[in-house]
Structure 1
Amino acid sequence: MIAVRSGRPRKRAEQQRSIETRVSILNAAIAEFAASGFEGASIRAIADRVGLQHPLITYHYRSKDILWRAAAEHAFAQIRSEWDNSAEGGDLSPLERLREEYTTLFRYTVAFPEFHRFMRQETLTNNPRLKWVAKEVLAPLLGRLLPQIIEAQKRALLPAVDPILFHYMMVSLTATLSEFGPEMQITGGLSSEDPKVAAAYWRLVDETVFSAREADADSAQKVAKR
């Protein structure tokens, strides 16, 4: 009995190390695929990024395609987890919920600017990976977001456009700093890595997209009550 009990902490520690190794591999994979694209990326380059021998990566992920899909699932799982956590904060309106969810997406892309570059690489060609991620990963997320957009539109809180257009407008806004950070540094001396710059940028988005609409709705309600 004593031997069994003493082995449990060791097993848990090994499991935790395995999880941490997988996370490190997936983050390195996102960075490498973002920089080199799927065809240009290699298992060896990903291993070099994380300081591992490349056979250890193939032990966890048998092929580059499997690794790419695992990396995509890993990224979106983190975003979805943050969405779920924010949903526990109370009963929010559809517009407030959308604000929280797109803010979460923005914060993730600020922390991991490689994420949007990783996804953008796949939009350059009509390939099986893009079709797979659209069906297996993006569709469930859109199934969550689009009904909220539609409900906010019904309340005249968002423009009356196809909700998918609104969604991709917001995605592009969340990607601005990761996409144009180097250019902004040269043309305006602003660092996309500066928390103050990120906060100022998202405040602009929030005031333009969400706050103005809420103010209009509040004014309309006050007029209706008179």
Structure 2
Amino acid sequence: MTTARSKSGNPKRDGKVGNLRTEQKAQTRALILQCALEVFAERGFDGASVRDIAGFAGVNHGLIRYHFADKDGLWKAAVEFLFNRLHEEMAAPPEDAKLAPLEQTKSWIRRYVRYCARHPEHARIMVQESIRDSDRLRWAVKRFIKPDNEETRRRFRRLVEEGVYPDIPEHSFNYIITAAAQSMFMLANEMKYIYGLDVASDDVVDAHAEAIITLLFDHRARRAAVRRPKS
């Protein structure tokens, strides 16, 4: 009985070539999706074209059509790529499990602010779709945003139960943090012209995260300590 031989006659070499091609395909796909996110964020779904995205990515227009069928398929693939990356970058480090709920939340805010600084296209795309109240927004909410909000809701309830935070509406807590974390990076050019700041700078990003934490938590704690009567 004979078996099919590899093209080169060297299975190990062919395996390496196959792995390299798979890696290259994955890199090309990631490049296309990132370019799609940036174009959709800047121009909106209606203003973006598959041909423009292909040109931005430096790939053949037909390649995008082959892999994603149409613009709607490309948008959904790009947004799925976006949220998968969010989940990867927002994953808590193992040492956070030992922290109290408040310190876990501070760590979570720091990670989220850094994510927003690296990927301002995330917020811009969601704003574009929310303005239009599109079917795409409803798809993203059902598949990603609403399930993700469950974690924020649980985090908020723990803070309330610990007496760390007042029992305000959960949606207010969620969108206060979301807006505070995202807005400076969405409006990077405005920040540059008003304050002369590069909002992508690590120092600016980290200072912004600490400012949010101070306003939400540490400022209240210091005021309480000042008001506490001496025994």
What is the TM-score normalised by the length of structure 2?
A: 0.86
State the identity as a percent: 27
Unaligned runs of 5+ in 1: none
- Corresponding position of 2:80: 73
2:110/2:206 contact within 8 Å kept: no
- Which runs of at least 4 in structure 1 moved beyond 4 Å after TM superposition? 213-217
Query: Match for residue 41 of structure 1?
Result: 48
Counterpart residue number, 1:7: 14
Aligned to 2:218: 211
Conserved? CA contact 1:30–1:114, under 8 Å: yes
| Cross-structure match for 2:93 | 86
Larger radius of gyration: 2
- Please name the residue that 2:189 is paired with: 182
- Could you tell me whether the CA contact under 8 Å between 1:30 and 1:118 is conserved in 2? yes
Q: Which residue of 1 is the match for residue 103 of structure 2?
A: 96
1:19 maps to a residue whose letter is A
Residue identity opposite 1:103 in structure 2:
R
**Residue 173 of structure 1 aligns with which residue?**
180
Q: Determine if the alignment matches structure 1 residue 32 to structure 2 residue 32.
A: no
RMSD, matched Cα: 2.4
Structure 2: distance between partners of 1:133 and 1:200: 31
Greater mean deviation of Cα atoms: 101-110 or 168-177: 101-110
The Cα shift of 1:104 comes to 1.7
CA shift, 1:46, in A, is 0.8
Instruction: Provide the secondary structure at the position in 1 that maps to 2:97.
Output: coil
Match in the other structure for 1:131? 138
Give, in angstroms, the shift of residue 197 of structure 1. 2.2
* Number of equivalences: 222
Mapped contact 1:98–1:145 kept (Cα < 8 A): no
Q: Is the 8 A contact 1:28 1:46 kept in 2?
A: yes
Q: For structure 2, list consecutive stretches of 5 or more residues without a partner in the other structure.
A: none
Q: Does 1:155 align with 2:162?
A: yes
Give the drift of 1:176.
2.0
Q: 1:48: how far off?
A: 1.3
C-alpha separation in 1, matches of 2:93 and 2:205: 20
CA gap of 1:185–1:84, structure 2 versus 1, over 3 A, is closer
Q: Give me the whole-angstrom Cα distance separating, in 2, the residues matched to 1:186 and 1:6.
A: 55
> 2 CA distance for matches of 1:156 and 1:86?
25
Cα deviation for residue 82 of structure 1 reads 2.3
Evaluate the alpha carbon distance shift between residue 43 and residue 182 of structure 1 in structure 2; reply closer, same or farther with a 3 A threshold.
same
